[in-house]
């Protein structure tokens, strides 16, 4: 699906189409996590993407493409944008596990946690550059207890 981020209901449409696709494919158990992943990646496009001049649409609307690939053991979600800048994938927890329970919510970051949330929900998160610019952020979600070879990243 292709969305323009400036449309007033674009985020709702992205979440709704994600749910519709997964329910139609019989993957109802993955709907909530997949909707949150798409929502967080949509937010990253809105907040961080600066379209490259060759890809920018006249009028300033930023385009975002969302794709789904459902395999017997995996669901792949791809979000493509018009900015070739690599995403800053978090390398680990913001705070060590032993310290996290002792910290007040006041010191925890209240923004820029989208990819950290996505990494918690997906089995793998990576990105690929587009052939003509832009990039795609890919998330792999395991269906059931799929294990073994990581076919993507």
Residue pair 75/143 in contact (Cβ under 8 Å)? The answer is yes
Which secondary structure element, helix H or strand E, spans residue 127, and what is its range? strand 124-129
pLDDT of residue 4: 84
pLDDT of residue 94: 52
Q: What is the pLDDT of residues 38-77, one digit of tens each?
A: 999 998 888 887 767 666 666 667 889 999 999 989 999 9
pLDDT of residue 123: 92
Strand 124-129 to 63-70 pairing = unpaired
pTM assigned to the model = 0.77
pLDDT of residue 149: 42
pLDDT of residue 143: 86
Point out the residues of the chain with pLDDT beneath 70: 51, 53-60, 90-113, 145-153
CA angle 86, 65, 144 (to 5 degrees): 85
Residues in the chain: 153
Contacts of 101 (CB under 8 A, 6+ apart): none
pLDDT of residue 48: 80
């Amino acid at each position: 699906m292709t969305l323009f981020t400036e449309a007033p209901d674009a985020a709702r449409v992205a979440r709704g189409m994600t749910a519709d696709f997964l329910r139609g494919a019989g993957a109802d158990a993955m709907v909530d996590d997949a909707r949150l992943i798409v929502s967080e990646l949509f937010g990253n496009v809105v907040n961080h993407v600066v379209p490259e001049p060759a890809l920018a649409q006249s009028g300033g609307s930023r385009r975002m493409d969302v794709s789904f690939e459902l395999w017997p053991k995996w669901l792949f979600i791809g979000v493509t944008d018009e900015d070739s800048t690599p995403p800053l994938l978090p390398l680990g927890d913001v705070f060590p596990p032993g310290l996290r329970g002792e910290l007040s919510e006041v010191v925890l970051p209240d923004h820029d946690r989208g990819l950290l949330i996505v990494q918690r929900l997906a089995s793998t998160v990576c990105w690929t550059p587009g052939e003509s610019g832009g990039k795609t952020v890919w998330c792999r979600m395991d269906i059931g207890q799929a294990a073994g070879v990581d076919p993507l990243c």
